[in-house]
Structure 1
């Protein structure tokens, strides 16, 4: 029977989230397998010194025939044995609580992990003194940590700086307890893990001319004719949680309190952002996003999705964020199967929450009963669509077109690793969509700028032997139809120069 009361993260109640259950099931990116802790009591250096002194005293008592030396030998030798026996009889219990500040972390930002230990004896009496804790931490976060944690509730902490998004396991922790005299120790396995949710970083995207976006089919639609401007902007009192960028300083000065801008609902722009999570669209070598299986192409696509969400939310655009199965993208800190899965609309206040939810996405097989067409029809998503996918097949492209046939316009960013356009690219282009091909090493700014080009764009292709200037290295695409390029014959949504009816993405070669 375990001698440890398994501690949970502070403030966490109820059932564990899907991410935490997954963290226990998967192999944490090839990390070493956990080994059971040997919880037998062991003597410390001081305990071995007592035993050695007792043995020498016993020899001296035998040689000298002195009973007082014999009593000293029995005391020195019996004290460590009694200490080890006391650890078995008392059965110490350890309550370990782990907190992460901030709870939702962005890739590249530091986070502080704090451990609190409550050490109690069998009858509930609190045991004072520090305990040694060895925390299991993935190598990508700096490796295991050894801490001295005060048993009186004083926390000890360490800092991690995750460089990639995903779910990163923290723990289990091994706690070393000792008797009051420090003669014997025992290892206790506090095997409850924590999970560090790391959201993808949202890189800044360049501004694109609205005219170019509209021609390329990526201009978010509006719910009414009026455009945002001084004539349809109202103000209201500042509420807790309102972004500071919406503060209307002139109105605040007139009213003597903070006022925020509130756009007329008739001028709200809308866009449907679809992130394809079908495992068939993401072949290639597996990489790990913490404990989540992924690919390099999907990691790039998730980063682009986060950047687009952040970019559009800052520009008063209502984004309907879905996956390729018609499910709403998860929200940060909530279970994947919770009520948030029924919500697709993302405002500027909720964009960060959805971006943190992207920490949990991974390639999955098509779930039963999930349909993008049903979701689009149920919520009447007739707005322009931006699809982010990988090796999109022709059949999958046909399903996307059927589901979004009532949308105003369509654009797609397809992430490719081998340099050849997927079969779905030609299907989308034939339907008038703007298609941008990007490699995992492409800058997201270049792919976004490609949506503003008059013609479709393709990302870098690996140069073949003897290739001329028409091929670009894998590090970045060449500029073909940039925002300032002249019109191409054929109009928007039609193929530009290049093989397979595609050109190269703009903005590379910096």
Structure 2
């Protein structure tokens, strides 16, 4: 039933013979069988042959229906299509089901049922009256979840019944599909912090500098390369045609850090502080990719997405849509970590040129605030959205905890643009507030790299 093509239905119980057929008897069929047996016993005791014939008829009818239905081999194929397969939380997706009768005989009454997790809604059921030979039926239903995650759909089940309603058998398909519910993404306004706001520009570092003939780094010839770029010295050295690399601008980099420590967040559910941080991370990632940045998702555990390649960033070497999809899939299933600190993330960040750093942080004690402050050292610009889970647990209007202001001050003194996140506030407003704080405080000193706040 996956997108790859229709799948045939199979008996859910396997080869059970008569036992499987009898297990499929409906209440009506069991009643007829019991009445027939009772009538046959009474006829034998009373010596009434006519009553015996009636009893045999009542008992044999459901058995015949069960046997015929069990031996009926409908060649039915089904497929499922999700539209879309990746949907934001609180948004609806539509599931399209298609049934094809690939046999030469028409089917009887069919009940179509799809297995759906309860969080997506009630289990859908459809009744298909009669599908002619070579015919097709298409139905659809909607699913919706307020909770992000990956949810299996299937297997699809068919319930077969006889014309008298004596027996009902279930046959199922074997494949599943997966619906990915990603965090909600909020559109962010284009603002500017420090450095250039676009992904390319004269102020960007070049992947290869303009160098002399001896410093040229060649590569193998590819179909379509200009022959005027052939590097004859390297060609003679390697024994194959080599060409000079063109100077290529490197995209501005942006690292988005998500704090997932269980100690840093309280509460659960769609309106919790942690879910806001995940949604904010998704919004920042999509926004920076759309602005032309090479982006990396980093968590407090030190794990980065899309991976630990040469630089770990995505957007320059692969399509932005693919990178965004990979990071959204990761955020769809991200959960609290057991870590107590941000030291692993700091070890990753201090290893090289990280460009712009955007962090979504939970509760910080003095030690973790100090670690977070050190992350700013190698970044051209850094902005932190700090959540107070205690205030979020109290709801909108809840009084923030006193130590939070001290933590914000420590981050700002280290060069961060630190913004407190009140309960229920949209990220777009805080995005503008960060730009206002930057403009008020003036550009922070950098440590040899530039970054943009776009």
Regarding TM over 0.5, the answer is: yes
Secondary structure at 1:204's aligned position in 2? coil
Hey, what does 1:147 align to over in structure 2? 126
Distance in 2, matches of 1:285 and 1:401, equals 26
Give me the whole-angstrom Cα distance separating, in 2, the residues matched to 1:341 and 1:193: 36
Specify the alignment match of 1:361 in structure 2.
Answer: 334
Aligned to 1:100: 82
Cα distance in structure 1, aligned partners of 2:186 and 2:153: 27
Q: CA deviation at 1:328?
A: 2.3
Counterpart CA distance in 1 for 2:204 and 2:309 is 31
What does residue 379 of structure 2 align with? 407
Q: 1:438 aligns with which of 414, 421, 426?
A: 421
**What is aligned with 2:116?**
137
If the length of structure 2 is used for normalisation, what is the TM-score? 0.64
> Could you say which residue in structure 2 is the equivalent of 1:344?
313
Counterpart Cα distance in 1 of 2:40 and 2:433: 87
Residue equivalent to 1:78: 60
Q: Decide whether aligned partners of structure 1 residues 286 and 92 sit closer, same or farther in structure 2, where only a CA change above 3 A counts.
A: farther
CA deviation string 1:297-346 (max 9, x = no partner): 1211122122222222332233233223332236xxxxxxx889994323
Q: Deviation of residue 364 (structure 1)?
A: 2.0
Q: Which position in structure 1 is the counterpart of 2:161? A: 178
* Aligned mates of 1:446, 1:297 — CA distance in 2: 17
Where does residue 317 of structure 1 map in the other structure? Answer: 293
Larger Rg belongs to: 2
Question: CA offset at residue 453 of structure 1?
Answer: 1.4
RMSD: 4.9
Could you tell me how far 1:444 is from its partner in structure 2? 1.1
| Aligned pairs for 1:75-474 within 5 A | 75-84=57-66, 98-115=80-97, 128-148=107-127, 154-171=137-154, 175-179=158-162, 182-187=165-170, 194-208=177-191, 210=192, 213-214=193-194, 224-225=202-203, 266=249, 268-282=251-265, 284-287=266-269, 296-329=272-305, 343-346=312-315, 348-350=320-322, 352-353=324-325, 354-366=327-339, 371-376=344-349, 380-417=352-389, 418=391, 419-420=400-401, 422=404, 424-454=407-437
Gapped regions of structure 2 (runs ≥ 5)? 6-19, 206-246, 392-399, 446-454
Show structure 1 runs of 5+ residues with no match: 1-7, 13-37, 228-263, 290-294, 331-337, 456-482, 495-510
- Going from structure 1 to structure 2, the CA distance change for 1:398 and 1:222 (only over 3 Å counts) comes to farther
State the shift of 1:406 in Å.
1.5
SS at match of 1:452: helix
Q: TM-score, normalising length from structure 1?
A: 0.58
Q: Distance in 1 between matches of 2:350 and 2:178?
A: 37
- How big is each residue's C-alpha offset from its partner over 1:452-492, in whole Å with a ceiling of 9 and x where there is no partner? 0136xxxxxxxxxxxxxxxxxxxxxxxxxxx7xxx46xx56
- Partners in 1 of 2:338 and 2:280 — Cα distance? 22
* Structure 2: distance between partners of 1:303 and 1:352: 14
* Contact 1:96/1:118 (8 A) holds in 2: yes
Cα distance change on mapping 1:45 and 1:218 into 2, 3 Å: farther
Rounded to whole Å, the distance in 2 between the matches of 1:147 and 1:341 is 52
Find the aligned partners of 2:376 and 2:200 in 1 and give their Cα distance. Answer: 17
1:458-497 pair list within 5 angstroms? 487=440
Higher mean Cα deviation, 72-81 or 60-69? 60-69
**Partners in 2 of 1:401 and 1:140 — Cα distance?**
40
| CA distance in 2 between partners of 1:341 and 1:169 (Å) | 35
1:186 shift after superposition: 3.6
Question: How far did residue 118 of structure 1 move?
Answer: 8.7
Looking at structure 1, the residues matched to 310 and 332 of structure 2 have their Cα atoms a distance apart, in angstroms, of: 15
Contact persistence 1:225–1:267 (CA under 8 A): no
Tell me the CA shift for residue 451 of structure 1.
1.1
Contact preservation (8 Å) 2:109, 2:161 = no
